[in-house]
């Protein structure tokens, strides 16, 4: 493979790391990036799925003390048990439907037109939600009820449509259910860990026969860059949304989605 392909992989890894935890759809940005760069990565869009785990590792690093404390305390501390239970319950919808609809999602929905439309629609939805937020009643993850966690997990399923945004769907869903901004954002972070780990393992297993050494090298480049870039976002996002909310991301989505639609139409 030419050096330029590895440069593209690094650039896409940067895009992934910067967008994974923002409500702007990292998968959507990766698919649009593929289109712009003419990137031909590993088969089955495996590259685009697996490098997301690099961004997820940033969560493990930044919140390592919290996660270690929960792991050590879950057998004796009721709050830690509720934390683990809520993340597990919220993961169930994606686990079930992700495996069931995997083929349809990858073959039908992974295209730039779907992404562009979803970006615009999602941006409009965020604007509406920000203007109609209920009073926040839940201020810690372990205060969430199991039903609230399940409903947030159901919102995550919508994000299987590229361009919707996994973090956007879970955060906005949690806000509508009365979870405060900080807790909704952090819950989205923690829910990403089992979700993206499961998606990565499943995708690598499904495409294992088609992957060569060069494919793994490309994935490794994107993976590493995504991890470093995501560290920056994770460390700053919670403070940003507490000060500014999600409206800036909504307008960004609408602008990028509209531009993508225009460019796709002109390139037909």
**Residue spans per domain, the chain:** 3-36+44-266
pLDDT for position 106: 67
Per-residue confidence (pLDDT) for residue 159, from 0 to 100: 86
Place of tokens 């507490």: 242
**What average pLDDT is seen over the chain?**
89
Q: Read off the tokens for 50.
A: 């697996």
Query: pLDDT tens digits, residue range 14-43?
Result: 999 999 889 998 888 988 888 888 888 787
What pLDDT is attached to residue 49? 85
- Per DSSP, the residues of 157-176 read HHTTSTTS-HHHHHHHHHHH
pLDDT at 121 over 90: yes
Structure tokens at 62: 């930044």
Q: Which residue has the higher pLDDT, 255 or 213?
A: 255
Which are the contacts of 103, defined by CB distance < 8 A and separation ≥ 6?
none
Two tokens at 224? 């590493």
Q: What is the pLDDT of residues 207-240, one digit of tens each?
A: 777 788 888 889 999 999 999 999 999 989 888 9
pLDDT of 1 strictly over 60? no
* Torsion sign, CA atoms 153, 15, 229, 232: negative
Contact call for residues 116 and 162 (beta carbons, < 8 A): no
Rounded to whole angstroms, how far apart are CA atoms 30 and 14?
A: 10
Check whether 116 has a pLDDT greater than 80. yes
Which pLDDT tens digit goes with each residue over 149-178? 999 999 999 988 888 998 999 999 999 999
Write out the two tokens for 15.
């895009």
Q: What is the pLDDT of residues 79-108, one digit of tens each?
A: 999 999 999 999 999 888 876 776 677 666
């Amino acid at each position: 493979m030419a050096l330029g392909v590895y440069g593209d992989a690094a650039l896409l890894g940067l895009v992934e790391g910067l967008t994974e935890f923002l409500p702007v759809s990292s998968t959507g940005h990766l698919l649009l990036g593929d289109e712009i760069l003419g990137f031909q990565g590993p088969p089955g869009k495996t590259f685009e799925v697996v490098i997301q785990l690099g961004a997820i590792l940033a969560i493990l690093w930044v919140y390592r003390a919290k996660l270690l404390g929960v792991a050590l305390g879950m057998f004796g501390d009721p709050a830690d048990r509720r934390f683990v239970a809520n993340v597990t319950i919220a993961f169930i919808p994606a686990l079930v439907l992700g495996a069931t609809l995997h083929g349809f999602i990858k073959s039908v929905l992974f295209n730039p037109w779907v992404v562009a439309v979803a970006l615009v629609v999602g941006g409009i939805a965020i604007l509406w939600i920000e203007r109609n937020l209920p009073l926040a009643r839940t201020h810690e993850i372990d205060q969430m009820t199991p039903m609230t966690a399940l409903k947030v997990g159901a919102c995550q399923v919508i994000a299987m449509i590229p361009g919707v945004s996994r973090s956007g769907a879970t955060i906005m869903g949690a806000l509508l259910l009365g979870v405060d901004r900080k807790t909704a954002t952090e819950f989205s972070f923690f829910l990403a860990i089992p979700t993206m780990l499961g998606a990565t393992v499943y995708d690598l297993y499904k495409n294992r026969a088609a992957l060569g050494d060069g494919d793994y090298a490309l994935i490794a480049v994107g993976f590493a860059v995504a991890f470093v870039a995501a560290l920056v976002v994770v460390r700053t996002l919670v403070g940003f949304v507490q000060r500014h909310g999600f409206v800036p991301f909504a307008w960004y989505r609408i602008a990028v989605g509209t531009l993508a639609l225009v460019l796709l139409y002109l390139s037909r």
